[in-house]
Structure 1
Amino acid sequence: MTLTDTLIRTASPGPPKMLVFGDAGVGKTSLALDAGALLIDCENGAAAIPGLVRTPYLSSWPEMRAWLVELAGGVPDEVSCVAIDTLDWMVQRIAEHVVIELDGKKQGDVTNTLASAHGGYFKAREIVQNIVSRDLLPLLNRINDIGLPILLLAHAANTRVTTPEGFEVRLACPDLPQWIAPIFIEWADAVLYAHRTSDGERVLATEGTSTVLAKNRYSMPPLLPLSWGAVVEAVSSSPAAPAMAPAEGGA
């Protein structure tokens, strides 16, 4: 057998990997509930939502990682999605793990920062990037490979972004440091902005504009209602449609 014998000539889409960001209270966690998600609780803000399957509050990266490792081996039968609430807090805990627990010179020193840890010059950023690209995303891929959509929830921020053409613009973006955000944006099949319109309707922006960072690989309409049912319908209508569980209800 040669390498060319292994060429793939048919589409084989898997469950979607989505990053949904928006202001607090817009309905991101309710979207996870409607998706039938098991929620990785990174910020201790989901206790008031009835019916939500969630982990205990996880206050450190090692705790979060242990759950992801276990879920990569299988999830309870009633779970049809895995959600992280929120990604920005998970990244913060990874950064704390790197600068406080992993710095050999000043282990446990709470004054360590990304700029000062591991010899300075922001070398700690590279370790955080390594954990994300070599550990976190492979674990999420393993969960995705067993047939589950991945839903990364994040807060929104107004962020100065440099375009590939070199122009600086301000966009509504996930509230992630700009040195780590591109890894997640490139990995995700869809980056969706949850917000309220001027008349109060809760919607998801699916395409990037001059004011919003968003994308999708499913030819979604530019705006969707903020509901898992609308997401499932939009994804299922795509030529690259993966199999998705139906919605449990409205957002």
Structure 2
Amino acid sequence: MPLMDSLITATTPAPPKMIVYGQPGVGKTTFAASANAILIDCENGAGAVRGLKRTPYLQSWPQMRQWLVELTSSPPDDVPALAIDTIDWMVQRIVEHVVLDLDPKAKGEITNTLGHCHGGYFRGREIVQNIVYRDLLPMLSAIADNGTAIILLAHAANTKITTPEGFDQRLAAPDLPQWIAQPFIEWADAVLYASQTGDQRTLLTRGTNVVLAKNRYGLAPELPLSWSALTLAMSDTPPTPSKEP
């Protein structure tokens, strides 16, 4: 069969893959609970959220990975969403695994850093990036392919970002190091900023000159911080095909 005959023209709706970030206490974990998500507990701060299904507190990347492998290979029935609380803590545990467990010259050395491990010159960063590109994101995509939405919760940080044009600007963004943040942002269908003004909690769905946000669904610029409101808005606006990897 000629390759041209395999071109796809139909839309293929799929569970969303999203990053939801904001200040502590804004309601990110409660948002995940309202999605009836299983929560990968990376920071031990979800115990007070009612009705939340969560793993035990996982203190290392191998522990976290074990759960992701099982969810990938043996997906449970009727799990609408998987949440990671938080992705910035998971990345930190991956960094610790690389610099403390995988470096043959300084195994268990607490002063080892990304700049000095694996021969120096920040080669440890490349190993962290390999884990994210070749292991973590493919597992999350496989879970999504099984019909489960992915919610990566993250703290917010004031981050300096260099635009493709070479200009530096400061934005509210997920609290991830700049050298590892881009793969997550490109992979996600939506990057949503959760904020609170008085009693009103909202999700910003489109980027501004001070906040990093995006979505592939043509969403209104602002929505209530509510899983039901978000999924309703997504169902009303089919996803836009992405050119990002």
Which category describes the TM-score, using the shorter chain as reference length?
over 0.9
Is the CA contact (8 Å cut-off) linking 1:15 and 1:147 kept in structure 2? yes
Partner in structure 1 of residue 186 of structure 2: 186
Contact 1:74–1:146 under 8 Å retained in 2: no
Structure 1 residue 164: Cα displacement: 1.2
Aligned to 1:246: none
Aligned CA RMSD, in angstroms, stands at 1.1
- What does the per-residue CA deviation read over 1:29-86, in whole Å, with 9 as the maximum and x for residues that have no partner? 0010000100000000001112100000000000000000000123433421000000
Provide the secondary structure at the position in 2 that maps to 1:230. Answer: helix
Q: Percent identity?
A: 64
2:235 — aligned with what?
236
In structure 1, what is the Cα distance between the partners aligned to 2:28 and 2:49?
A: 12
Which runs of 5 or more structure 2 residues have no equivalent in the other structure? 241-245
Structure 2 Cα separation of the partners of residues 73 and 82 of structure 1: 14
Worse overlay, 45-54 or 176-185: 45-54
Report whether the alignment pairs 1:15 with 2:15.
yes
Runs of 4+ in 1 over 6 A off after TM superposition: none
SS at match of 2:109: coil
Distance 1:177 1:46 in 2: 24
Q: Does 1:155 align with 2:150?
A: no
Kindly report which structure 2 residues correspond to 1:32-181, keeping only aligned pairs within 5 A, or say none: 32-181=32-181
Query: How far is the alpha carbon of 1:107 from its aligned partner?
Result: 1.1
CA distance in 2, matches of 1:175, 1:110: 23
Aligned to 1:249: none
Counterpart of 1:204 in structure 2 is 203
What count of residue pairs does the alignment treat as equivalent? Answer: 240
SS in 1 for 2:179: coil
Q: CA deviation at 1:239?
A: 2.4
Deviations 1:107-137 (A, max 9, x none): 1111100111001111000000000000000
For residue 9 of structure 1, report the CA deviation from its aligned partner: 1.5
Q: Distance in 2 between matches of 1:39 and 1:49?
A: 11
Give 1:221's aligned residue.
220
Q: Residues of 2 paired with 1:75 and 1:223: CA distance?
A: 33
Is the 2:75–2:146 contact (alpha carbons within 8 Å) kept by the matching residues of 1? no
**Alpha-carbon distance in structure 1 between the residues aligned to 2:207 and 2:232:** 20
- Structure 2 equivalent of residue 248 of structure 1: none
Distance 1:51 1:202 in 2: 20
8 Å Cα contact 1:22-1:154 kept in structure 2: yes
Task: Give the structure-1-normalised TM-score.
Answer: 0.93
Question: Using the alignment, how far apart are the partners of 1:154 and 1:191 within structure 2?
Answer: 10
Q: Is the 8 A contact 1:203 1:224 kept in 2?
A: yes
Deviations 1:82-114 (CA, angstroms, capped at 9, x unpaired): 000000000000000000000011111111001
